[in-house]
Structures are given as C-alpha cells and as structure tokens.
Structure 1
Amino acid sequence: MSAFTPVTRPQHLPARIAATLTAQIESGVLKPGDRLPTEQALTRSFAVSRTVIREAIAQLRNEGLIETRQGAGAFVIQRAARHIRLDDARAMAPHAFRDLFQLRLPLEIEAAALAALHRGPQHLAQLDDAMARMTGGASGEEVIEADLHFHRTIAAATGNAYFVQFLGAISDRILHTIIDSRVRQSPAEIAPHVHREHRAIHDAILSGHAAAARAAMRAHMLHSAERVGLSLHLSD
C-alpha cells in the first residue's frame, strides 16, 4: 500500500482523510477484507492528530465502507454490504445548499427527538465532549470537527442505523456549509449563537424530552441555513 501524503490546511479535516481512504478502496488498492493501517500509522502518514483519524474512520464506518472489530482494527467490507454513499470528494456548489438543508431538516429534527428517547450514557458523554471541544478555546478546525461529531453522536443515539448511514453519507456536504458560514461571519460572531443552539439540543436530549429536542434542532437547522444565506419556509 502506497504511503499517504500529509494533508495541508484547510483540508486538515476528517472528511478529507476519509475521501483519500475512500479513493484507495474504490481503486482497489484496499480490497474487501483488507485491514486499514493502525491509527498510529495513519496519524504518521497523514501528519494529523489521532482525533482527526478517529473521526475519519467513524465517517467511513457510517458510510458502510468499513467495519471495526474490537481489538482487531478496521476492515474494508464487501461492496454488496455497503450502505448509501455520496461522492464526498466532489466539491459542493453553494446553490446546492438549499437542497441539502431540505434533506437535513426532517432527518436531523427527527434524529434529535429519537435521541432524546433512546440515548445512553455513552452518547451523553460524547455530546458533553463535543460541547467542551466547541467551546474550550480550540482552533477553528477542531471546533468544526467537534460540531460534526455532535451531530453524528445524535444520529448514533437514535438507535436507528439508517440515521447513522444517511447523515454519515452527507457529512462532507454538511462540512461545506459549516465552512461557508464561517467565511460569511467571523467565528467570534457565530460562536455564541451556535453554542446556545447546541446547548438547547443537548439539554433536551439529556432531559429525555423528545418534543423539546425536536424544537431545538429545528431552530438550529433554520439558523444554520440563515448563516449560509438561506431563508427556508416550512409547511408546518
């Protein structure tokens, strides 16, 4: 297997690592049944942190490209067993943001409600960790990673693998919207609003209040759309 090249900023993100590994799988360099290099080896090859590698592996797993086995590592799975996946390496045109949000709204809103009903201690711990990383003075890149992790954790907390698969498949598209919002406004301007919105979602899920979680996620999605210049009008 050929060595990977370090990923340079602003591509120093899990989605970029996942896209590179996906290309290896699609080209047949990594075949079904092959074991991915260890976290340590990938960290050295890509010259990124272990946290970034873990997020990239989680994305590949969510997309059904790999499976992880306790104590053994991550393995490429048979193509027939793969789940839904989009071409995450393809650049996203800004005009496609509206289509993305029209898909995200019902998925994320219902995911939040189900997470409030089915979340376990591990999910609450992961949400706490994501919140801490988003507000703990981390770099912009780390904040973006934590934001994506927050939403992936909610998908996992639903207990429904389809939410994990579908939201995992569009995670790179979501990354585009987060970056775009930070271009339109400074992180300092956005941060307090995003923190408030995530805190409301977190607290509703913690309390087990499905209706409150649904409302908090709806508000977050609508405000997120506004931050990339969209005004969405819902039927209800």
Structure 2
Amino acid sequence: MTASIPPLRRRARSVSAEVAAHLEGLITSGELRAGDRLPPERELAAGLSVSRSSLRQAMFELESKQLIERRQGRGSTVTENPRRAGDLAGGLADLDIELGHATELRDLVEPRIAELAALRAVESNLLSLDDVLARSSDSLSPAESLRLDIEFHTLLARAAQNPLLVTLCTMTTDWTRRTRALSHRTRHARALSIDGHHRIYAAVAAHNGPGAAAAMEQHLRDVREVSRPRR
C-alpha cells in the first residue's frame, strides 16, 4: 500500500532541501514507517507542488542518508535500520540496563552527536530541526513536549550522518524515557528544555562543533537538575 504524504509547508529555502526535510521529518516522527512505499515520483511531485527535478534531488539525498531505498520499477520505500545498527540494538536490547548507565551513555554520546551534526548537517537537516523548534512551546502538554523533545534529538542524530549514532540515540531514549518525562512535567522545565534545544540548534546552524557539544552538555545538566525526584 502506498503511503499518504501530507502537504509541504513552503519556506524561502532550496526547494529540494525543503522536500528532503519534510520527508525526513515524517520518517523520524513515525508517520512514515519502515516498509512504507512512497507514491510514484510524478504523483509525489504533483502532491507537493514541486518540480520533478527538485523531488529527484531530495530523493537522492534521502537515499544517501539511507532513509529510503529506490529500485527501478518498484519505486521508493522507507528503509529498515541499517543492518549493523540493527545488530547493535538487538545485541544490547536483552541486557539489564540500569537507568544510571543509560544516562551515563547519553552524556558520552549526545555531545559528540551534536558536534558531528554541526560539522555535517546539510540544509534539509537544519530545516527539520527548525521546524521542531517552531512547534515547541512550554504551553504544550507534557506528553507532546516530550514527543517533540525526542524528535529533536533523533533529527540531530540523523544530521550527524552516522546510522549507528541514530541507533544509540534511539536506545538511550527508550532507556531514559521515564526520567526524560520528568523534565517536561512543569512549564518551567519545558521552557528550560526548549531553551537548550535553541542553543544547540544555533551552534549547529553556525557549524560550530565545539559550541554544539558544549550546548548539549549544558542541556543535559539542566535536564538532570529539573528531573530530580521531588521530596
């Protein structure tokens, strides 16, 4: 069954980057799932009101990021996790991981992800991150705020252009979900988290690797502080 693609929100940027960011966001949020088949390119271009050449450039970028697989005569399909990443996830999934260990892993991995994202992010990555920030607000419900938080960190990992880092980010998200939920329980906590995301994004957009790593380290410290159990 061919997936349904929602309309594209146009901005004054490269059209192919906008299309790539739009589709990558749908994949990251789970609206497009592994195995979903995209509409034929002619139909997809018409549905998004873009030229076929712009769409082809976007599809080439998504293929290079290993987010879709394109086959002659079969169209484009959203991919599964790369094999090596899948093996890593499967190998660790059965371990009895304590929350403290997962948090420590996050402290080690996420600053490096932010640094690599700053060095490797392309325009579509920045558009996707900017879109999440535009939808983030301290007035959202804790559940919606947490969902966008996870989407931001996942997109940041994708911007680092390393599928294994995406897998690590996904696993640490699963292991720390209850603690992360605490960082969205109050309006102040949500505002603090969003402010951290803005500082990370600013460094990534400026291609400032050390600045992005430092912003992530500060963000994780802030999140831990507001996630401490109430007494």
TM-score, structure 1 normalization = 0.60
Going from structure 1 to structure 2, the CA distance change for 1:79 and 1:200 (only over 3 Å counts) comes to closer
Going from structure 1 to structure 2, the CA distance change for 1:80 and 1:114 (only over 3 Å counts) comes to closer
Select which of 86, 101, 109 maps to 1:82. Answer: 86
Q: Distance in 2 between the 1:108 and 1:176 partners?
A: 18
* CA deviations over 1:10-55 (Å, ceiling 9, x no partner): xxxxxxxxxxxxxxxxxxxxxxxxxxx6656xxxxxxxxxx89862
Select which of 29, 39, 52 maps to 1:55. Answer: 29
User: Could you tell me how far 1:142 is from its partner in structure 2?
Assistant: 2.5
Report what 2:220 is aligned to: 221
Asked whether the 8 Å contact 2:34–2:78 carries over to 1, the reply is no
Going from structure 1 to structure 2, the CA distance change for 1:160 and 1:222 (only over 3 Å counts) comes to same
Report what 1:20 is aligned to: none
Going from structure 1 to structure 2, the CA distance change for 1:56 and 1:194 (only over 3 Å counts) comes to same
The one-letter code of the counterpart of 1:227 is: V
| CA RMSD between the two structures | 3.6
Going from structure 1 to structure 2, the CA distance change for 1:218 and 1:187 (only over 3 Å counts) comes to same
User: Could you tell me how far 1:176 is from its partner in structure 2?
Assistant: 2.3
Going from structure 1 to structure 2, the CA distance change for 1:54 and 1:67 (only over 3 Å counts) comes to closer
User: Could you tell me how far 1:209 is from its partner in structure 2?
Assistant: 0.9
Q: Distance in 1 between the 2:109 and 2:223 partners?
A: 15
The one-letter code of the counterpart of 1:229 is: R
Q: Distance in 2 between the 1:196 and 1:84 partners?
A: 32
Equivalenced residue count is: 174
SS of corresponding position for 2:88: coil
Going from structure 1 to structure 2, the CA distance change for 1:39 and 1:119 (only over 3 Å counts) comes to same
Asked whether the 8 Å contact 2:113–2:165 carries over to 1, the reply is yes
After superposition, residues 164-179 of structure 1 pair within 5 angstroms as 164-179=166-181
After superposition, residues 1-236 of structure 1 pair within 5 angstroms as 55-56=29-30, 68-70=68-70, 71-74=75-78, 82-85=86-89, 96-135=98-137, 137-182=139-184, 186-229=185-228
* CA deviations over 1:140-190 (Å, ceiling 9, x no partner): 3322221111111111111222211211233222322221333xxx43121
Provide structure 2 residue ranges, at least 5 long, that are not aligned to the other structure: 5-24, 36-65
Report what 1:25 is aligned to: none
Percent same amino acid among aligned pairs?
24
Going from structure 1 to structure 2, the CA distance change for 1:103 and 1:58 (only over 3 Å counts) comes to farther
Asked whether the 8 Å contact 1:119–1:158 carries over to 2, the reply is yes
The one-letter code of the counterpart of 2:221 is: L
The one-letter code of the counterpart of 2:158 is: A
